[in-house]
Structure 1
């Protein structure tokens, strides 16, 4: 039966095929060929036999001359299905023969049990002819969303929403923050997909974010708290960088100097101290 948790992830890959390559690189460290464009490929993988084969989604990545560099088949797997041990190798070999390029199979699994099942090697027959699907584990998705652009973060969070589970409201909060960084058209499209997947409680959370602009969010109590946390994080990074420079140059930092550095709140002042730290002979000189 077709469900939102199956169809919405497929739409993400149809809308932006590059997501498949990004997941392979960030999740598995895949070394993929260079490409200039990424386009959806027909999901129909039927050969000349009457048997009809259709994967969930396929994307082809082409070089600057338009020649296929590699392709990715995406399967959204919500449960174990041992028939895939036979259909998945056919998907890969048929698309490889059609495009004359390497093909990988990316399985998006909505629970850990299914993910463990999908990771099992599929022995096709001849020695060494083994299909090893790339499997995205649902628990790893939530940690990935802070690493990319707003659009990529939203896509990862929607994939996480498709997995369901007790983290729905946490996902909704993160989605609301990142959606408000997008253009209005993207914001509405992605929000519409997310609302099909989230629980009623999580939908309420997301709708509250959608009712305000990004600037209005920043001015809200939650936005001010988040912004304050970001500022603290930036200041902490500046302080640690300054101390590392002094340490690398073998300059001792007294407790009184350290106390003065730790309490400063002016980022511009910290930048000036950092520049001076490169040339001073005594830690106290950074304050001059």
Structure 2
């Protein structure tokens, strides 16, 4: 079931929140949206879900618009918590599962399985307000996937979680993807998108700055990162031919270079200058690309 956004625009009065966005998200894929506050990520998700109508363009899933008749196939994890604080976890999930057409015994069995996986089985009869923010997020996630959706949309799912809970939730998301769920999520944290997603879209003020496969985006960026640690003065590399950016770091420097051949030239020039402890050529990180592409959109 391919999700297609074609020339989608959303305006609120004179303000344009999303501008002419076109994407194709294949079935059984993990797709990431990146962007700062006000980039248009949440607005895009709400249009996909049918919670907001697009001002222009169209959104289809398997060739059809997404309406209430498909709600049992979709899971949504909003950025803002949407649980009832006074309800117990079991009551909460049973209620939400029934709205998805599930039977109570089926819901409870799924809930118990998820609570065991998240190592919190004792929370089944606790009120949501009695749980920590991290454990509330686990329950919110369970509520979004209890009915085994074909399409899962998550808005900042890892926000506010400690590293252990982040890893636990990432493992769960990867398992769902491997079992056939198409997953779309947004994040401010580049490393999560870089680790999990095959394809992505960077939004800035509603505009699509970059989109495509992570591999193609990195290849097209062209520039490489070179990290050098050594017992010598590296200042001369600031003006070295092929070096586009110089950043001093503890024990050495981090360079942005135009081609791999530049690194070979630099290595040769360091041979008689002192001991080299580290000389590491890396591909650009998604964070590097985001900063340059989004920064350029401000100019």
TM bucket, shorter chain: under 0.3
Give the alignment's TM-score, normalised by structure 2: 0.24
Name whichever structure is richer in helix by fraction: 1
Compare the two structures and name the one with the higher strand fraction.
2
The structure with more radius of gyration: 1
* TM-score, scaled relative to structure 1: 0.25
